[in-house]
Amino acid sequence: MNGVVIIDKPAGLTSHDVVNRVRRILHERSVGHLGTLDPSATGVLPLVIGNMTRLAQFYTSSEKTYEGVIRFGFATDTYDAEGDPTGKNQSVSLSLEQVRHLAAHFQGVIQQMPPPFSAKKINGVPAYKLARKQKEFTLKPVQVEIKKFEILAVENDHATFRARVASGTYMRSVAHDMGQQIGCGAHLASLRRTALAEFTLADAHSLDELTAADDSADDLFVHPRTLLPDLPCVTANEEMAARIRSGRTVNLPELSRARQVKVFHGQRELIAIATRVAGTLFHPKIVLAAQSQTARP
């Protein structure tokens, strides 16, 4: 079973928990995820299955879109609602104009301090493991990009937002830093990812839907021709497909200006991502189907 399925991750599960459940549902060990979501966060979690796990390298810097709520009044040690308060709760009533003015300072390329409870590595150890043991460590600010940060509504101490960000951006840190700037503390009350790369909530399925699909679960997979939409597609004939499957170069004169292409055998079988090496010659960067696939019984 090879493909990509988008799960609408529920709150309370880690991304790895979802991977483990899907392994059991599909009876397929080779399952990975694109773009980790915190346990409390929900929304778009793309899973790559079987040979499609090799596509993960093309999504390491994918843009993401979120909707969520920031609560002003107190900060937490995890920068979200799961953590312990780090100060007294203050009574706060903010206007939409105030919060929008504050949010404007966080748009564009900024320096951001990752949360202490995060997967950032400190000498090879994730920061959250050190934080849980209350060990001292130092995180360094990193450059991130917030391409769009829109405050949709404000009600007393809660601000609803929509954000589009580059990979590596922590919305928890944005919430925390906004609270510091305004002087009352803040944390991320809720977060829902609505898009990652070309995948959106419209593509997503619940774990229950995947379970109910049973033997037809692959009907829920994303159509492979919609993957990596910036890359052109080419449909290989039998001779070309055989060369690609064995890792040999092929001549693709109609795609002489492309740097990389998706190579298909038939309409749905993505067999390789090929890279132009010279002129009209393309060499498979990754081979996704080394031999013809047969239908599952």
Sequence spans of domains, the chain: 3-62+198-222, 64-196, 226-287
**φ, ψ for residue 209, nearest 5 deg:** -65, -40
The CATH code that applies to domain 3-62+198-222 is 3.30.2350.10
Nearest residue to 81 via CA among 188, 191, 177: 188
Domains 64-196 and 226-287 share a fold: no
Segment 244-270, tens digit of pLDDT: 999 999 998 877 788 999 999 999 999
Q: Which residues contact 51 (CB under 8 A, 6 or more apart)?
A: 2, 30, 288, 289
Segment 14-43, tens digit of pLDDT: 999 999 999 999 999 999 999 999 889 999
Segment 176-200, tens digit of pLDDT: 999 999 999 999 999 999 999 999 9
- Give pLDDT, residue 290: 67
Q: Which residues contact 288 (CB under 8 A, 6 or more apart)?
A: 2, 51, 52, 54, 55, 270, 271, 272, 273
- Give pLDDT, residue 294: 42
The CATH code that applies to domain 226-287 is 2.30.130.60
* Catalytic pick among 8, 17, 38, 218: 38
Specify the CATH class of 64-196 in words: alpha beta
Clarify whether 38 is annotated catalytic. Answer: yes
Instruction: Indicate whether 293 pLDDT > 50.
Output: no
Furthest C-alpha separation in the chain: 71
Span 84-102, mean pLDDT? 93
Nearest residue to 46 via CA among 94, 97, 84, 9: 9
CB atoms inside a 10 Å sphere around CB 22: 22
- Give pLDDT, residue 295: 37
- The average confidence (pLDDT) of the chain is 91
Span 76-96, mean pLDDT? 92
User: Which amino acid would we find at residue 268?
Assistant: R
